Amino acid sequence: MTTVLLADDQAMVRGGFRMIIDAAAGLVVVGEAADGTEAIALARQLDPDIVLMDIRMPGVDGIEATRRLTRAGSRTRVLMLTTFDLDEHVYDSFRAGASGFLLKNAPPEQLVAAIRTVAAGDALLAPEITRRLIEEYVSWPRAGAAVQGRLRELSERELDVLRLIAAGLSNAEIATTLFVSQGTVKTHVTRILAKLALRDRVQAAVLAYETGLIRPGTDNSSSHQRS
């Protein structure tokens, strides 16, 4: 059973999400928070698998709450909620440690699928809107030499995989592009995250943009095919 904590300052919104989530097989809401401070406290108390976190809340907002949970080493994954599809704070939420984000007006089936995706250990990175937001709000290269130097830990094939992760490809799509098995891709992804000390694919994508490994607005998904 995947446990979910709802964090939103609007009670009616929380109620709607609770109805959708509790009606889905294998998902259950274990608590509700009206602001970031309460979300942090309940996340520590209840240890949910997922926090469905609104970005904009009074007091401690969703980004700061996510940052504090991540820094504290919480295993809970955060799925950010935003009203605007071009919210300037979405990129900041990725940097804070969120594993993905979703628009509040997404259909119920998309909400359920997003929770399951993040709970399974994947990041909600594939949707085109996510790539667009990362491309728009990252200013490459922003990282210093020390951060850029971390990429030296990766092999050439791992760099290829990292580029494709940042382009939003799934493991299956990366396998097809590089003509390798999905198991091989999964191994590469695991090693990339371990070498770079990253939590998930979203953080890997952000690092790829920050270091200039992948450039916003370019097609990075078709230049790594092997014959």
Task: Encode pLDDT of 5-18 as tens digits.
Answer: 999 999 999 999 99
Whether 21 has a pLDDT exceeding 90, the answer reads yes
The whole-angstrom separation of Cα 180 and Cα 89 is 36
The three-point CA angle 47-48-53 to 5° equals 115
CB neighbour list of residue 21: distance below 8 Å, 6 or more residues apart: 4, 6, 27, 28, 29, 52, 111, 112, 115
- Of the pLDDT bands very low, low, confident and very high (cuts 50, 70, 90), residue 142 is low
Task: Encode pLDDT of 73-89 as tens digits.
Answer: 899 999 988 876 555 66
Name the CATH superfamily for 2-124.
Response regulator (3.40.50.2300)
For residues 129-150, give the mean pLDDT: 57
The pLDDT score that the predictor gives to residue 226 is 44
The pLDDT score that the predictor gives to residue 98 is 87
Domain residues of the chain, as ranges? Answer: 2-124, 142-210
Lowest mean pLDDT among 96-110, 163-177, 211-225: 211-225
Residue 54: C-alpha distances to residues 2, 48, 155 (Å): 19, 16, 38
Here the tokens at position 160 are 């290829």
Place of tokens 């799509």: 173
Indicate the class that CATH gives domain 142-210.
mainly alpha
